[in-house]
Amino acid sequence: MNNINETSGIKKTTHRIRPIIIGLTIAMLAGTGIAYASNNVWGNCEYKEGHDKKHNKQNMLSLSSKVVDQLQLNDIQKVVLTDAQNATQKMREEMRSAMRTIKESRKAEMKSDTFDPRAMFTQQDAMATQMLAARQDVQKQWLTFWDSLSDTQKMVVSNAIQSKKESHKHKEHS
Summarised one tens digit per residue, pLDDT across range 1-40 is 555 555 556 556 556 666 666 666 666 665 555 454 444 4
What Rg value do the Cα atoms of the chain yield, rounded?
A: 22
Give the domain extent around 98: 2-43+60-173
Q: Is residue 117 part of a domain?
A: yes
**pTM, to two decimals:** 0.60
Summarised one tens digit per residue, pLDDT across range 85-122 is 888 889 999 989 988 988 888 888 888 878 888 888 88
Summarised one tens digit per residue, pLDDT across range 29-88 is 655 554 544 444 444 444 343 444 344 333 434 678 899 999 999 999 999 999 988 888
**Do residues 37 and 138 make contact, with C-beta atoms less than 8 angstroms apart?**
no
Q: Is residue 55 part of a domain?
A: no
| pLDDT attached to residue 149 | 94
Q: Is residue 53 part of a domain?
A: no
Task: Provide the 8-state DSSP code for 67.
Answer: H
Q: Is residue 122 part of a domain?
A: yes
Q: Is residue 86 part of a domain?
A: yes
d(CA 141, CA 153): 17
Q: Is residue 51 part of a domain?
A: no
The count of structural domains within the chain is: 1
* Contacts for 124 with CB less than 8 Å, ≥ 6 apart: 25, 28, 29
d(CA 128, CA 120): 12
